[in-house]
C-alpha cells in the first residue's frame, strides 16, 4: 500500500497525474513555441510534473535506478523553472533558463512515457522487446527532434517579463 492505496490504485493515480502533466505540458510547450503564455495551463503542467516525480519516489524499490535519477534531476530543474517564472517573473536572464528547464522536465516525462509504452502496451512491446530495436530508437529520436524544435522556437518567440502572471 502507498498513501493508503493498493499498489495498483497508486500506479493508476501516478499514471493519470503523469498523463495530465504530459498533455498540459505539450499545450504549454506549443504555446511557448508560438510566443504565447498560458498561465493556468502552465500552473497545472508544473504542479502535475512535480507530482509525477514525487509520486514516482513512493513506489517500493530496493535500489536507486534510472527512474529515481530522472525524478531527482526533474525536481531540481523544475525548481529552476519555478524560480524563473514565479520568483523572477522571467525578468533579465531568467527567461532562457525557464524555457529550457520547463521543456527539459516535459521531455523527461515524455521520454519515460515512451519507455513505459514500449514496455507495457501489448501492441508496442513486440516491436521493441529489448528497447534497442529500430522502432524504439526512431520513437526516441522523433521525441528528441520535437523537443529540440520546440526549444528553438520557444527561445525565439516566447516573450520575457509580463506585467503579471496571475492564475
Extract long-range pairs of 84-93: CB within 8 Å, 24+ residues apart: 85/42, 85/46, 85/165, 86/165, 89/161, 89/162, 89/165, 90/159, 90/160, 90/161, 90/162, 91/160, 91/161
**pLDDT above 90 covers what percent of the chain?**
89
Mean pLDDT of 153-159: 95
Q: Which letter does DSSP use for residue 124 in this model?
A: T
Q: State the total domains in the chain.
A: 1
Q: Is residue 59 part of a domain?
A: yes
Domain span including residue 93: 7-157
With 70 as the cut, is the pLDDT of residue 82 above it?
yes
- The sign of the torsion formed by the CA atoms of 18, 80, 29, 43 equals positive
Q: Is residue 94 part of a domain?
A: yes
The pLDDT of residue 67 is: 86
Mean pLDDT of 47-72: 94
Contacts of 118 (CB under 8 A, 6+ apart): 124, 125, 127, 128, 131, 135, 136, 139
1 three-class SS: coil
Contacts of 166 (CB under 8 A, 6+ apart): 39
Q: Is residue 78 part of a domain?
A: yes
The grid coordinates listed for 105 are: 522536465
Q: What is the pTM of this model?
A: 0.91
The pLDDT of residue 162 is: 56
> Are the CB atoms for 166 and 89 separated by under 8 Å?
no
Per residue in 12-59, pLDDT tens? 999 999 999 999 999 999 999 999 999 999 999 999 999 999 999 999
State the Cα–Cα distance between residues 80 and 71, nearest whole angstrom. 14
> Are the CB atoms for 74 and 53 separated by under 8 Å?
yes
Mean pLDDT of 141-147: 98
Beta bridge partners of 2: 5
State the Cα–Cα distance between residues 162 and 37, nearest whole angstrom. 9
Amino acid at each position: 500500500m502507498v498513501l493508503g492505496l493498493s499498489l495498483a490504485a497508486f500506479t493508476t493515480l501516478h499514471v493519470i497525474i503523469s498523463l495530465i502533466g504530459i498533455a498540459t505540458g505539450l499545450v504549454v510547450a506549443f504555446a511557448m513555441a508560438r510566443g504565447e503564455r498560458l498561465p493556468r495551463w502552465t500552473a497545472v503542467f508544473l504542479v502535475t510534473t512535480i507530482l509525477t516525480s514525487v509520486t514516482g519516489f513512493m513506489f517500493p524499490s530496493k535500489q536507486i535506478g534510472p527512474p529515481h535519477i530522472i525524478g531527482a534531476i526533474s525536481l531540481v530543474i523544475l525548481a529552476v523553472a519555478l524560480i524563473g517564472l514565479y520568483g523572477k517573473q522571467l525578468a533579465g536572464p531568467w527567461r532562457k533558463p525557464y524555457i529550457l528547464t520547463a521543456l527539459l522536465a516535459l521531455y523527461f516525462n515524455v521520454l519515460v512515457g515512451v519507455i513505459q509504452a514500449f514496455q507495457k502496451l501489448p501492441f508496442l512491446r513486440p516491436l521493441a522487446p529489448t528497447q534497442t530495436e529500430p522502432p524504439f530508437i526512431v520513437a526516441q529520436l522523433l521525441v528528441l527532434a520535437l523537443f529540440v524544435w520546440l526549444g528553438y522556437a520557444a527561445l525565439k518567440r516566447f516573450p520575457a517579463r509580463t506585467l503579471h502572471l496571475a492564475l
